[in-house]
Amino acid sequence: MKPMEIYIADVPFDDKDDSKIRPALVVKVSNERVNIFKVTTKFKNKSKKIRRLYYPIKKWKLSNFLCK
């Protein structure tokens, strides 16, 4: 696992005790921790507080992600 790679991960929600399988951009890898940005196509719908935890897909159709 390396920084700037995208993986599918079970990522917790920011505001409740639940999670969702979603793409995640690896930012930093250390011995005990992996720091990620959550990837979303709905970046504009997020609050400023939440947006800083996400990485927007600007050209998602070219990314090969399936969006429902």
Bridge partners of 36? 26
Q: What is the pLDDT of residue 30?
A: 94
pTM for the model stands at: 0.63
d(CA 63, CA 47): 24
Mapped onto helix, strand or coil, the DSSP state of residue 36 is strand
Report CA-CA distances (Å) from 62 to 9, 10, 28, 66. 21, 23, 25, 10
Q: For 8-63, how does the pLDDT look when each residue is reduced to its tens digit (9 = 90+)? A: 999 888 778 999 898 888 999 999 999 988 887 777 777 888 788 777 677 766 76
Residue 68 confidence class, pLDDT cut points 50, 70, 90: very low
**E runs forming strands in 3-56:** 6-12, 19-29, 34-40, 54-56
pLDDT at residue 64 in the model: 64
